[in-house]
Structure 1
Amino acid sequence: MKCVIHFTTGKAWLEGQPHWKQGLVPHREYVREALAKGILVAGGPFMDHTGGLIILEVDNLEEAQHFVDHDPAVIEGKFKAKVYPWEPLEGIFNE
């Protein structure tokens, strides 16, 4: 199943600073691990610096929530995250 993770800025986000100045290297490394495991479909920041999204291909909603719960940026309070089950109907993600 596919899940969308919607990230928004958390309490530790440096207001007025772009995402590349937020100390997100551990988060990016964590996301790259998901890519290596084959569960990352797509992801990236919103260009207005208000958060971002990730699309995962996982076995169940609990696996996606586990991903969020262990994300360094969520743990550090830089992001808040919400997981949504997602069923794409059109486009490249429904293949």
Structure 2
Amino acid sequence: MKYVALLTIIDEEGNKRVRPAHLDYLKRLKEEGKVYAAGPFTDGKGGMVIYEAASYEEAKALAQEDPVIKEGVRTLELREWNPLFE
């Protein structure tokens, strides 16, 4: 299943500091087949990650290990997603 994580920035300076670790984390998960897609919103207020996971609990665990969430610089909204097309 796919799960969408909406990551809204709540600490601009902290986000700048943690962003390199965030990108490294997503790259590693992409290589492991756990990230379907990811990227920033064009308004600069955050971004989205689409996880590939066997359950909501697994997706939540992956999202909560993201450095931007662990450091409290972004909020997390996680929802199961059913794409119409792939």
User: Considering the TM-score relative to the shorter chain, is it more than 0.5?
Assistant: yes
CA root-mean-square deviation? 1.3
Helix, strand or coil at the partner of 2:12: coil
Which structure has the greater CA radius of gyration? 1
Per the TM alignment, residue 53 of structure 1 is displaced from its structure 2 partner at its CA by 0.4
Tell me the alpha carbon deviations over residues 45-76 of structure 1, each in whole angstroms, 9 at most, x when there is no partner: 00111111011111000011001111111111
Check if 1:27 corresponds to 2:22.
yes
CA contact (8 A) 1:41 1:56 kept: yes
Offset at residue 9 of structure 1 (A): 1.1
Q: Which runs of 5+ in 1 are unaligned?
A: none
1:62: which partner in 2?
57
**TM-score of the pair, normalised by structure 1:** 0.81
Instruction: Kindly indicate whether residue 71 of structure 2 is the aligned counterpart of residue 76 of structure 1.
Output: yes
What letter matches 1:80 in structure 2?
Answer: T
**2:47 pairs with one of 30, 33, 52:** 52
Which structure has greater helix proportion?
A: 2
Counterpart-to-counterpart distance in 1, 2:63 and 2:52: 14
Q: Which residue pairs with 1:13 in the alignment?
A: 12
5+ long unaligned stretches in structure 2 = none
Aligned positions, number:
84
Question: Which of 32, 41, 54 is equivalent to 1:37?
Answer: 32
TM-score (norm 2): 0.89
